[in-house]
DNA sequence: AAGCGCGGTTTATATGGCTG
DNA sequence: CAGCCATATAAACCGCGCTT
């Protein structure tokens, strides 16, 4: 376990067992017990493991509290992975989050833009903005999202699929990439999206050929760092992208 | 007129599957 | 295997008739 790196759920067990100072035999016995057990909500594998290790005497309450608070503070975004509905995540969470970063962003309406017909998500002084969101989860896991959620510094594989992209209907894209420990925003002009080498157009069969997708994989993500919002000046980034 | 309930429609992302 | 396209599915949204 490397210090300083975020503990992903898959590593938490390791973090707990390395804190155990008891004998190898006791540890093995407890791990076997956990393996056999089928926990039911609200009980779970981890509290069961910890209780058993404390009972064996190789772990104490303070260590448990330390592991617990470390995990909580390092994984502030896990609740976002519990949002199961696509629209709950994309619309309710992501758009609200982006709006919270810049009070000048407005939810569009016919009053604001007489031609508005639901083709974009946010509006800033006439700049039309589309918000897209995706969560980083382990590609090789079948577990629920909140179990396979990944940290930004992960070495596991993931694919973020930004889709239903319609560059012709907005000026600027804001991409919200959620990791269990961090939220990253990328701001790109629709031109930059359309010209991106990973942009693939066409999604729904028979559509007018105007909806594209763009997959960002773990090994390609660094190519987008130039679009990343780093100084928290979202308004400035949007205006800059809109000019391009 | 304002509010509610409800069913159909739209929109969002996660993931599957095909193809070279 | 990677890349592209397509489907699954669930909640948010919308509109409308009904009630108060």
A203 touches strand C (CB under 7 A): yes
Estimate in Å the CA A88 to C1' C13 gap, whole number: 12
Among the ranges given (A34-38, A115-119, A139-143), the one the predictor scored with the smallest mean pLDDT? A115-119
How sure is the predictor about A210, in pLDDT bands with cuts at 50, 70 and 90?
low
**pLDDT at residue A207 tops 60:** no
Q: pLDDT at residue A241 above 80?
A: yes
- Average per-residue pLDDT for chain A: 89
Is pLDDT of A208 > 70?
Answer: no
**Which pLDDT band holds residue A114 (cuts at 50, 70, 90)?**
confident
Q: Is the pLDDT of residue A189 over 90?
A: yes
Q: Separation of CA A43 and C1' C7 in angstroms? A: 35
List residues, Cβ < 7 Å, touching strand B: A 86-87, 89-91, 94, 118, 121, 131-135, 137, 142, 145, 159-161, 163-164
User: What is the per-residue DSSP string for A46-59?
Assistant: HHHHHHHHHHHTSS
Please identify which residue in the block is written with the tokens 């009980």. A43
Residue A135 pLDDT more than 50? yes
Q: Listing from the earlier edge strand, what are the strands of the sheet with A172-178?
A: A122-124, A127-135, A172-178, A183-189
Whether A85 CB is under 7 Å from strand C: yes
Q: What is the pLDDT of residues A30-66, one digit of tens each?
A: 999 999 998 888 899 999 999 999 999 999 999 999 9
Tokens of A63: 């260590």
- Nucleotide B11 C1' to residue A87 CA (A): 7
> Which pLDDT belongs to residue A201?
67
Predicted local distance difference test score (pLDDT) of residue A199: 86
| Average pLDDT of the residues in A7-16 | 85
**pLDDT score of A205:** 41
pLDDT band at A228 (very low <50, low <70, confident <90, very high): very high
Rounded to whole angstroms, how far apart are CA atoms A93 and A82? 12
Partnered with residue A70 across adjacent β-strands are none
Tokens of residue A27, six digits: 């540890």
Select, from the ranges A66-80, A105-119, A159-173, the one with the highest average predicted confidence (pLDDT): A66-80
Q: How far is CA A88 from CA A7, A34, A76, A91, A219, in A?
A: 26, 34, 18, 6, 28
Residue whose CA lies closest to nucleotide B14 C1': A86
A85-243: in CATH 3.40.1350: yes
The domain spans of chain A are: 9-74, 85-243
- The confidence band for A202, taking pLDDT boundaries of 50, 70 and 90, is low
Q: How many Cβ atoms are within 10 Å of A82's Cβ, its own excluded?
A: 12
pLDDT at A35: 92
Residue from A11, A2, A95 nearest A46 by CA = A11
**CB of residue A23 closer than 7 A to nucleic acid strand C?**
no
State whether the beta carbon of A215 lies below 7 angstroms from any atom of strand C.
yes
Q: Determine the angle formed by the axes of helices A24-36 and A45-56, rounding to 10 degrees.
A: 150
pLDDT band at A221 (very low <50, low <70, confident <90, very high): very high
Instruction: Tell me the C-alpha distance between A57 and A43, whole Å.
Output: 21
CA-to-CA distance for A160 and A137, rounded, in angstroms?
8
Q: Which nucleotides of B are covered by protein (CB under 7 A)?
A: 10-16
Nearest nucleotide, C1' to the C-alpha of A175? B13
pLDDT at A117 over 90: no
Report the distance from CA of residue A121 to the C1' of nucleotide B2 in Å, as an integer.
Answer: 29
pLDDT tops 80 at residue A244: no
């Amino acid at each position: 376990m490397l210090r300083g790196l975020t503990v992903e759920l898959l590593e938490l067990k390791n973090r707990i067992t390395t804190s155990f100072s008891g004998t190898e035999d006791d540890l093995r016995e407890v791990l076997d017990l956990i393996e056999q057990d089928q926990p039911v909500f609200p009980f779970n594998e981890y509290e069961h493991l910890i209780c058993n290790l404390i009972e064996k005497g190789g772990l104490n309450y303070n260590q448990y509290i330390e592991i617990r608070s470390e995990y909580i503070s390092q994984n502030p975004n896990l609740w976002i992975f519990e949002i199961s509905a696509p629209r709950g995540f994309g619309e309710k969470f992501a758009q609200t989050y982006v709006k919270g970063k810049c009070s000048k962003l407005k939810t569009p309406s016919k009053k604001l833009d007489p031609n508005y017909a639901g083709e974009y998500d946010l509006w800033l002084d006439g700049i039309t903005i589309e918000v897209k969101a995706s969560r980083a989860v382990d590609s090789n896991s079948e577990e629920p999202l909140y179990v396979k959620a990944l940290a930004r510094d992960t070495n596991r594989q993931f694919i973020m699929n930004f889709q239903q992209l319609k560059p012709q209907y907005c000026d600027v894209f804001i991409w919200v990439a959620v990791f269990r420990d961090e939220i990253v925003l990328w701001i790109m002009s629709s031109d930059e999206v359309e010209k991106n080498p990973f942009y693939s157009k066409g999604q729904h069969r028979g559509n007018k050929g105007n909806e594209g997708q763009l997959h960002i994989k773990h090994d390609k993500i660094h190519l987008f760092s130039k679009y990343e919002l780093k100084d928290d000046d979202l308004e400035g980034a949007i205006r800059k992208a809109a000019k391009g």
